[in-house]
Structure 1
Amino acid sequence: MNKLYALSILLYVFVATCLIACSGSSKKSETLPESKHFFWKVSDENSSVWVLGSIHLADSTLYPLAPVIDSAFVHADELAVELNMNDEEVVKEVGEQSAAQGMLAEGTLRDLLPQGMWNTVDSLCTAWNVPIVMIEKTRPWLAAMTLSSYAFMQAGLNPEYGIDYVLLDRAAMDGKAIVGLETAEEQIGALADTTESDSAGVYYLKTTLHEIAEFESLVSNLMQAWKTGDDEMLRRLLDDGEEEVPLQESKFKDEFEQRIYVNRNAKMADSIATFLREDRKVFVVVGVAHLALEKDNVIETLRKRGFKIERF
């Protein structure tokens, strides 16, 4: 399907927000939290905006959505998502930006990687029936996103069941206005390593390959955390582990988190504050990591600005 092909390009960006940061334990929480969701109502004196954390690739077990989520969506006038993939111009821009920032002008991926890392990439492509030609001219960061997208799909998750995509289709059917919180250039630019050395991209790929080895456990726990609203489990999956990393790799990780989380979270919070100021009835859907990680997440940023926060 053409839509799935276009979505697969975008998913390189989405999936990275989980995979590259995942280096903590993925053991299941021993006790379940009270029934709740990654779903918040943000209010000022006279208006409210609903905010839902999405898993961008999922399966049918997430549906139907909880009644409180469904009811809030029905009563909203607008749906706000990271990127409006129902807009053909946005889809086109995603493809153009991915190609512009993610393809090598000279040489091949193999030239940039240690032999052992290249062998792992080659083995995964063979095992998954992924033509190596799809990988060999990509920069390391885009290779990492490509492989992590395939890993999610190998684990049984599908973009068609992603929460934002399901709600995008519903919004289109219901005639709701759709708002994009970011541009393709902004989102892909946050992830791309286009430096001459590609050193950060090689680090991202190395981390991704390590996580793929434990992917079934990761996916199982990620879905369980979302279904139960388990903050502790989700943060354990998304936060860094305790092991020390070399100074240079720590620098890459910190720079990545600043671009992919902190900077984007601030902009998302600004957009929600604007919706409230303009008294708009908006249902906002963004990746759950933007709402649940402890440092500078969207919800805590809005709380610090004085907005009333309620979790459901």
Structure 2
Amino acid sequence: MPDGVAARRFTRRLRDGGRNAAFARRWAARALTGAALFGVCSVFHLSAGPVGVAHAAGAAANAPSQAGRPAMPVPNLPAPPRATLPGFNPPPAAPGTTASGPVQTQPARMPFYVATRGTTTIYVLGTLHVGDPADYPPKQPFRAPILGALAASPTLALELSPDELLVSQDDVSRYGVCRRDCLPGLLPDPLWRKLAYRLRGNPAALDEIKKMRPWLASLVVETYDSLSAGLQTEYGTEAQLQNVYIRTRGKIVGLETLSQQMRAFTGLSLAQQREMLAQDLVQTPAENVDDVRTLHRLWRVGDADAIAAWQAAKSETLARDKRISDQIDNKIVYERNRRFVSRMLLIAAPNKPVFVAIGALHLGGRKGVLQLLRQHGFVVDAG
């Protein structure tokens, strides 16, 4: 089916009833900040076509090495066989009953804040682009304060609007995929050999990644490791938020445009792209999986500053070239934080609350969104 026809049919399904979306920053906020993901796929299967591709991007969004970077839909790739994931141990299944009866699950706390300046209110929720079913109990997927804020807000603002998400894959392919095998020639030989060794058990994926530019290859590596953490993209926060929101509201906007988000990657120098990919390969897949799970636990606790501190320490460990790594963070995290806040201030109005949902690693720290709101005169309290 042509991509355009599939997109139109999918759009109609979204209008008729639930909407599944999620996006991402590199590990935990990455591009766990950027493009939203649609559809449903299993943890170890990247389904064919735009839907499966988008899901893969959502998973990549939650990789600690790349937190806060926009999540881009990666081209469809073969799923990694379990045998090629050294050290992978699936998480134990959550028990469904106890001696006294069914387990009463509670929604994850999540980083949630209320920013006020006079009669202007901005609700800010830190998202995770993959999750566990236990994070969102069917009878109450979010805590009461979050549901109340969502119901009170005429506008839901995500990193990218749903309309732009539907067409984002074309731009990713246009700017991230070469017509020939270009990646080996764009990387230093030791880095290419390290990547080839990482994908040694998945020759089909290795053949496909050869045609990618380094920034997109980085997303693919993160996707595989994140999917291996046992979390699922259909349980990303954005997807669950929209399922609740569109039943009562419907106005969903983006805090940045698709072209702005694409430039976060395409504007990187070759040295910066190489650094991105090198960071993904510092640790073993099993260590990367452990980081994803750690981030998930921190997100459930809901302290944005604690998440930011953990991410900063992790970045220090993974950076191969500190100067270049800082340049990458400025381009794909801090510049976008400032853009997010500028857009929030344009949308917000007295007595018309705005509910903002962005990657959790964009919130905390001295350059985070919460601190930027304080600098604009807002009082920020935990929700």
TM-score range with shorter-chain normalisation?
0.7 to 0.9
Which of 349, 370, 376 pairs up with 1:299? 370
**Quick check: 2:215–2:277 contact (8 Å CA) kept in 1?**
yes
Match of 1:125 in 2: 199
**Quick check: 1:36–1:311 contact (8 Å CA) kept in 2?**
no
Matched residues in 2 for 1:245 and 1:73: separation? 38
Q: In structure 2, do the counterparts of structure 1 residues 244 and 67 end up closer, same or farther at CA, with 3 Å as the change threshold?
A: closer
1:253 matched to 2:315? The reply is no
1:178 matched to 2:224? The reply is no
User: For 1:113-141, what per-residue CA distance to the aligned partner results, in whole angstroms no more than 9, with x for missing partners?
Assistant: 34443343334334467622331100111
Output aligned runs, 1:106-121, within 5 Å. Answer: 107-121=181-195
Cα offset, 1:266, TM superposition: 0.9
1:271 matched to 2:317? The reply is no
**Quick check: 1:21–1:238 contact (8 Å CA) kept in 2?**
yes
1:225 matched to 2:275? The reply is no
Matched residues in 2 for 1:107 and 1:304: separation? 47
**Quick check: 2:126–2:357 contact (8 Å CA) kept in 1?**
yes
Deviates more, 1:128-137 or 1:39-48: 128-137
Gaps of 5+ in 2: 1-46, 69-107
- Secondary structure in structure 2 of the residue aligned to 1:99: helix
1:7 matched to 2:7? The reply is no
1:285 matched to 2:357? The reply is yes
1:80 matched to 2:157? The reply is yes
Match of 1:143 in 2: 217
Identify which of structures 1 and 2 has the higher relative contact order when contacts are C-alpha pairs closer than 8 Å and 6+ apart. Answer: 1
**Quick check: 1:80–1:179 contact (8 Å CA) kept in 2?**
yes
Cα offset, 1:261, TM superposition: 1.6
Matched residues in 2 for 1:59 and 1:243: separation? 27
Match of 1:90 in 2: 165
Matched residues in 1 for 2:240 and 2:110: separation? 17
Return the structure number with greater helix share: 1
Cα offset, 1:103, TM superposition: 2.0
Gaps of 5+ in 1: 23-34
Q: In structure 2, do the counterparts of structure 1 residues 105 and 129 end up closer, same or farther at CA, with 3 Å as the change threshold?
A: closer
Scaled by the length of structure 2, what TM-score is found? 0.68
**Quick check: 1:262–1:297 contact (8 Å CA) kept in 2?**
yes
Match of 1:60 in 2: 133
Q: In structure 2, do the counterparts of structure 1 residues 78 and 201 end up closer, same or farther at CA, with 3 Å as the change threshold?
A: same
**Quick check: 1:40–1:310 contact (8 Å CA) kept in 2?**
yes
Match of 1:31 in 2: none
**Quick check: 2:196–2:206 contact (8 Å CA) kept in 1?**
yes
